[in-house]
């Protein structure tokens, strides 16, 4: 009997350690919350006191991506880390993944929480939503921080289908970046069939490709993200963030340049891209390069990220 019951115990452990209730134990002082706004049930975690700092993660991660930096940020601010629409334990509806609609959900949460002014910070896809929030809700946006990501623009339409000769190696080329998943994630239905239950293969390849040293992304973190993206609905919802880029590009044509202070933090990968794009859409812009990091800056250079963000917010 003992030999027969042991596998069942292991299954229960592996399922529970990746739940939000268990993961929050790795973030002392933070609490899980749920709220329904605009018909969408959102999951977020909160810790600290002071001026609210809303944090939006990117693909293919969840709120847990802020774990390396959240505790230090919470010493100064009320940190609210949100699983954006389609992410983690938040709802995954069939539509509404253009960044303007996603920003509207964030704005509804801000109002439901009774906040009048916030700092907002986003990485990757989260940076796109954070910028859309600042464009559409400047009355709530005191300062904006974007890391390795900015609002979709027409330059995306020039991304290569085939990599330039000699540039597609085991590490992403900063001068000629080849992001094949931008196209792959446009396909409806097929990625779900290929990746369901196998998402960690994509994660491992991606982390190695876009990080300088992917040993900074622990095996536990990889398992956390795989557990949240391994099912059809999660893959479908995450890919919808990419499939709405054409609408995002159209929406951007009507936006006025941002007037609030904006901080752009660039890794070695996004250095040129953000340097070229952000000055056209932000009038009060600071740019900082953390060039000894790849795309996942929180994991590779958490102390540098915290220092840069805290200095900007306190200025």
Q: For residue 273, name the pLDDT band (cuts at 50, 70, 90).
A: confident
Sheet holding 141-147, edge to edge: 31-37, 40-47, 78-83, 52-56, 118-123, 141-147, 262-266, 285-289
Q: Where residue 1 falls among pLDDT bands split at 50, 70, 90? A: very low
As a whole number of angstroms, the distance between CA 96 and CA 114 comes to 24
Q: Say if residues 265 and 233 touch (Cβ distance below 8 Å).
A: no
pLDDT digits (tens, 9 = 90+) for 152-171: 999 899 899 999 999 999 99
Q: Evaluate if residue 146 carries a pLDDT over 50.
A: yes
Q: Confidence class of residue 272 from pLDDT cuts 50, 70 and 90?
A: confident
Average of pLDDT values for 232-260? 98
Please provide the average confidence, as pLDDT, over all residues in the chain.
94
Quote the CA–CA distance of 68 and 297 in Å, as a whole number.
10
- pLDDT over 80 at 9, yes or no: no
Residue 4 is predicted with a pLDDT of: 39
State residue 242's pLDDT score. Answer: 98
Domain limits, the chain: 18-314
Sign for the CA dihedral angle at 241, 243, 249, 255 comes to negative
- Whole-angstrom Cα distance, residue 55 to residue 52? 10
CATH architecture of 18-314: 3-Layer(aba) Sandwich (3.40)
Q: What is the mean pLDDT of residues 221-248?
A: 98
pLDDT at 67: 98
Rounded distance, CA 55 to CA 84, Å?
Answer: 10
Mean pLDDT is lowest, of 2-11, 56-65, 188-197, 233-242, for 2-11
> In this predicted structure, what is the pLDDT of residue 303?
98
Structure tokens, 7 = 């596998």
CA 66 to chain centre: 9
The confidence score (pLDDT) of residue 8 equals 41
The reported pTM is 0.94
Q: What does the pLDDT average to over 63-85? A: 98
pLDDT at 66 over 60: yes
């Amino acid at each position: 009997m003992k030999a027969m019951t042991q596998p069942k115990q292991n299954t229960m452990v592996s399922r529970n350690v990746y739940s939000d209730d268990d993961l929050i134990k790795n973030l002392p002082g933070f609490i899980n919350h749920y709220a329904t706004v605009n018909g969408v049930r959102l999951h977020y975690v909160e810790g600290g006191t002071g001026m609210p700092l809303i944090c939006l993660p990117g693909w293919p991660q969840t709120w847990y991506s802020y774990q390396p930096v959240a505790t230090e940020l919470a010493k100064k601010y009320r940190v609210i880390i949100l699983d954006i629409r389609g992410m983690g334990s938040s709802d995954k509806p069939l539509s509404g993944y253009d960044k303007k609609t996603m920003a509207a959900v964030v704005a509804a949460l801000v109002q439901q929480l009774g906040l009048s002014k916030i700092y907002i910070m986003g990485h990757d896809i989260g940076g796109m939503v954070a910028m859309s929030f600042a464009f559409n809700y400047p009355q709530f946006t005191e300062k904006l921080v974007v890391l390795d990501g900015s609002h979709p623009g027409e330059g995306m339409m020039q991304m290569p289908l085939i990599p330039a000769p000699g540039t597609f190696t085991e590490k992403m080329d900063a001068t000629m970046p080849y992001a094949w998943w931008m196209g792959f994630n446009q396909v409806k239905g097929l990625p779900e069939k290929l990746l369901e239950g196998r998402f960690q293969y994509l994660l491992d390849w991606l982390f190695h490709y876009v990080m300088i040293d992917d040993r900074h992304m622990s095996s536990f973190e990889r398992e956390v993200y795989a557990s949240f993206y391994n099912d059809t609905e999660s893959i479908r919802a995450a890919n919808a963030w990419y499939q709405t880029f054409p609408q995002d590009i159209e929406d951007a044509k009507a936006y006025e340049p941002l007037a609030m202070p904006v901080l752009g933090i660039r890794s070695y990968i996004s250095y040129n891209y953000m340097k070229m794009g952000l000055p056209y859409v932000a009038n009060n812009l600071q740019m900082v390069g953390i060039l000894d990091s790849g795309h996942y800056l929180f994991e590779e250079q958490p102390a540098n990220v915290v220092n840069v963000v805290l200095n900007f917010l306190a200025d």
